């Protein structure tokens, strides 16, 4: 069934696991991800970021994601990722998304807080949840251009949460979008300090490229939602490449469809196991 993030992330916090939030840009990806969650009896978040709407338009993907969520035998959140303006956030809510993120990380803290509160209040009128970001995650959401990282200031956490009422907080602790140039240096001490400041569930963006050990330490340190996008795309491309180059015969379209769905299925299952959310639904 379709749910928002409140009960899902509270359960994850209580039982000490993380929920994977996977960017799914096609029907193949949505179906592969849901199948993985159902097979492993795991809650799951399907999401689509504003920068991805050129590839996967909101009004096309919303019914696909919502249909998958409603028919699923595990709890599913349909989340609008990295919303940059209220028009898009409202559009996602009107289409039935059960959760949204407002990304005001490029603004000074007080402006980010003010704008995030507007998004939170709007989402709550739809019984939807809202995530916001304090500090700025490295890289850009589409992995294209470099954006400097700005670590979350521990002292700002309480003010920001009290001033916004956010349901989940994305933090910057050395994590970055896209493939990491050097191996990531996740600041677990800072994570623990942030976690001590608040009861609000914490979100780790930039999941692709983070090691298994660091994932486990992140979940132990208080992360309840982990965003993964690039890793799925890389696995899809690798499998399609293998299919096309593995034989002189051209593959059929239906075979290619299956290969994409399988690539997402396997990648999502791998992450669910790493985040220890299997068997929790």
Binding mask 188-227 for ligand 13P (x = CB under 6 A): -----------------xxxx------------------x
42 with 280: CB under 8 angstroms? yes
- Of 208, 115, 206, 94, whose CA–CA distance to 166 is shortest? 115
Nearer to ligand 13P, 86 or 179 (CB): 179
Shortest CB 208 distance to Na ion, Å: 4
Given the residues 13, 54, 81, 214, the one annotated as active site: 81
Binding mask 125-144 for ligand 13P (x = CB under 6 A): ----------------x-x-
Q: Is 177 annotated as a binding residue?
A: yes
85 labelled catalytic: no
- Of 107, 116, 106, whose CA–CA distance to 138 is shortest? 106
- Of 49, 46, 102, whose CA–CA distance to 77 is shortest? 46
Tell me: does residue 229 bind ligand 13P (CB under 6 A).
yes
87 with 50: CB under 8 angstroms? no
Phi and psi at 80, nearest 5°, equal: -90, 115
According to DSSP, residue 132 is labeled E
Tell me: does residue 228 bind ligand 13P (CB under 6 A).
yes
Helix, strand, coil shares of the chain as percentages rounded to 5?
50, 15, 35
Helix (H) or strand (E) holding 12: helix 5-15
Tell me: does residue 178 bind ligand 13P (CB under 6 A).
yes
Per the annotation, where are the binding residues? Answer: 82, 103, 133, 177-178, 205-208, 227-230
Residues in touch with Na ion (CB under 5 A): 206, 208-209
Residues in touch with ligand 13P (CB under 6 A): 23, 49, 81-82, 141, 143, 177-178, 205-208, 227-231
Per the annotation, where are the binding residues for dihydroxyacetone phosphate? Answer: 178, 206-208, 227-230
Instruction: Tell me which residues are annotated as active site.
Output: 81
Residues in touch with Zn ion (CB under 5 A): 205, 227
């Amino acid at each position: 069934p379709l749910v928002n993030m409140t009960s899902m992330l509270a359960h994850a916090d209580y039982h000490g696991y993380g929920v994977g939030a996977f960017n799914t840009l096609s029907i193949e990806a949505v179906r592969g991800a849901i199948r993985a969650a159902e097979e492993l009896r795991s809650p799951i978040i399907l999401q689509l970021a504003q920068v991805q709407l050129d590839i996967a338009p909101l009004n096309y993907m919303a019914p696909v994601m919502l249909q998958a969520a409603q028919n699923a035998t595990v709890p599913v959140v349909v989340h609008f990722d990295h919303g940059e303006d209220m028009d898009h956030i409202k559009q996602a809510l009107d289409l039935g998304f059960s959760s949204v993120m407002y990304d005001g990380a490029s603004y000074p803290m007080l402006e980010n807080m003010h704008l995030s509160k507007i998004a939170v209040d709007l989402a709550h009128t739809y019984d939807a949840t809202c995530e916001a970001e304090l500090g700025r995650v490295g890289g850009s959401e589409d992995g294209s251009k470099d954006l400097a990282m700005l670590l979350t200031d521990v002292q700002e956490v309480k003010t920001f949460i009290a001033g916004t009422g956010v349901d989940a907080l994305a933090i910057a602790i050395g994590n970055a979008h896209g493939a990491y140039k050097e191996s990531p240096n996740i600041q677990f001490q800072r994570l623990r300090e942030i976690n001590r400041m608040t009861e609000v569930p914490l979100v780790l963006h930039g999941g692709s490229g983070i090691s298994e050990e660091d994932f486990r330490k992140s979940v132990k340190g208080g992360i309840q939602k982990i965003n993964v996008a690039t890793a799925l795309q890389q696995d899809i491309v690798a499998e399609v490449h293998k299919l096309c180059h593995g034989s002189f015969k051209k593959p059929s379209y239906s075979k290619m469809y299956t290969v994409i769905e399988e690539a997402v299925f396997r990648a999502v299952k791998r992450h669910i196991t790493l985040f220890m959310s299997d068997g929790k639904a």
